[in-house]
Amino acid sequence: MKKLISIIGTTGIGKTKLAIEIAKHFETEIISCDSRQFFKEMNIGTATPSAEELAEVPHHFIGNLSVQDYYSIGQYEKEAIQKIEELFQKHDVVVLVGGSMMYEKALIEGLHDLPEANEENQRKVEQILEEDGIEKLQSILQDLDPEYFDKVDKDNPRRLFRAIDIIWQTGKTYTANISEQMNQRDFEVIRIGLQAPRETIYDRINQRVDLMVENGLLKEAESLIPFKNNLALQTVGYSELFKYFDGTWTLDFALEEIKKNSRRFAKRQLTWYRKEENINWVNFENSVEESLSLLHTLNIKK
């Protein structure tokens, strides 16, 4: 059976480096499941792999969209599975990497047969977001489905939109809608998670935000002001800077908020991964050696 090696872990932990080393070892290619790195205009704020890193190993689903494009998790699942099957024609192993938990889940487990987005519902939730802010959407979802609310990325409007829309359409909670058994994939998934002490994760996040600023994050965000209401840009690293550009926040406060919100996202990732049972954890400081040793133990060879 073909093998999909999925590299997961919190933001800023070193997933890109590990994925590249594993892909080089198996002479294979990388599929990204980082939903923010799909957008070509958001390189700095999403820590997209550098040109040098992209040149080391073929990558797919990085910079393949514009922030003006609509792209659903369903579209991603369909296109990424198609690409994986294509890669399996010439490779026994393919590497998946990214910290977008629902996108990884969609790929390794499949999506439930949920209805397409309802245009009227979409207009309603977009109006709520525009008039009352994301807090109102959070409150609506919490009332409709507290169980899913505890798990969802609460700061991602797209996730909130989708869950509320499905609940309104079906009359059932989102949790109930996604509780049905999924079809099995015809490839084996080996999940490798990078772990580090929480303080280390938070320190790395803070340092990475500082590096993004040095690398031109402000200029990148400023160039995206015309698109600030697009869903792709309702995300950490950009929404905070838009409040600086419109005079609501000082720059220092905006940067601290980016760090704080990035740490909060890492905390949600940790909570998500703790509930998963099939992750092989490796130490972030020795991740390449530990991962290759693990894969050798599992008899996964070039």
Asked if residues 257 and 240 have their Cβ atoms less than 8 Å apart, the reply is yes
Q: Which of 30-39, 107-116, 137-146, 282-291 comes out lowest in average pLDDT? A: 107-116
Please give the pLDDT value at position 181: 55
Query: How far is 171 from 232, CA to CA, in rounded Å?
Result: 28
For the chain, percent helix, then strand, then coil, each to nearest 5?
A: 55, 10, 35
What would the pLDDT profile of 171-200 be if each residue is shown by its tens digit?
999 988 877 656 678 999 999 999 999 999
- Residues 62-98 have pLDDT tens digits of 999 999 998 888 899 999 999 999 999 999 999 999 9
Contact 241, 217 (CB under 8 A): yes
CB 54 within 8 A of CB 37: no
Burial code (b: 16+ CB inside 10 Å, e: under 16) for 220-247 equals bbeebeebbebbbbbbbbbbbbbebbee
pLDDT over 70 percentage in the chain:
99
The binding site for substrate consists of: 11-16
- For the stretch 258-291, pLDDT in tens is 999 999 999 999 999 999 989 999 999 999 999 9
Q: What is the pLDDT of residues 246-260, one digit of tens each?
A: 999 999 999 999 999
C-alpha to C-alpha distance for 166 and 149, rounded to whole angstroms:
14
Q: What is the pLDDT of residue 270?
A: 95
N-terminal to C-terminal alpha carbon distance within the chain: 13
Candidates 36, 46, 98; CA nearest to 67 is 36
Name the nearest CA neighbour of 33 among 109, 97, 93, 84.
Answer: 97
Q: What are phi and psi of 188, to 5 degrees?
A: -90, 140
Other CB atoms within 10 A of residue 69 CB = 14
Tell me what pLDDT residue 294 has.
97
Question: Which tens digits make up the pLDDT trace of 140-171?
Answer: 999 999 999 998 888 888 889 999 999 999 99
Known binding positions for ATP:
9-16
**Rounded percentage of the chain residues whose pLDDT exceeds 90:** 84
74-to-5, 90, 103, 117 alpha-carbon distances in Å? 21, 25, 9, 11
Distance CA 184, CA 155 (A): 31
pLDDT value at position 301?
83
With bands split at pLDDT 50, 70 and 90, how would you rate the model's confidence at 213? very high
Please tell me which residue, 302 or 233, carries the higher pLDDT value: 233
CATH architecture of 119-177: Orthogonal Bundle (1.10)
19 vs 116, higher pLDDT:
19
pLDDT of residue 296: 95
Q: Is 59 helix (H, G, I), strand (E, B) or coil?
A: strand
Q: DSSP letter at 286?
A: G
With beta carbons less than 8 A apart as the criterion, state whether 81 and 107 touch: yes
Angle at the Cα of 77 (from 71 to 83), degrees rounded to 5?
105
Residue 247 and residue 5: Cα distance in Å, rounded? Answer: 45
Residues placed in the known binding site: 9-16
- The whole-model pTM stands at 0.83
| Residue appearing with tokens 């399996």 | 88
Three-state SS at 8: strand
Task: Report the pLDDT value the prediction gives residue 65, as an integer from 0 to 100.
Answer: 97
Superfamily of domain 3-111+182-297 in CATH is P-loop containing nucleotide triphosphate hydrolases (3.40.50.300)
* Domain residue limits, the chain: 3-111+182-297, 119-177
Helix (H) or strand (E) holding 30: strand 30-32
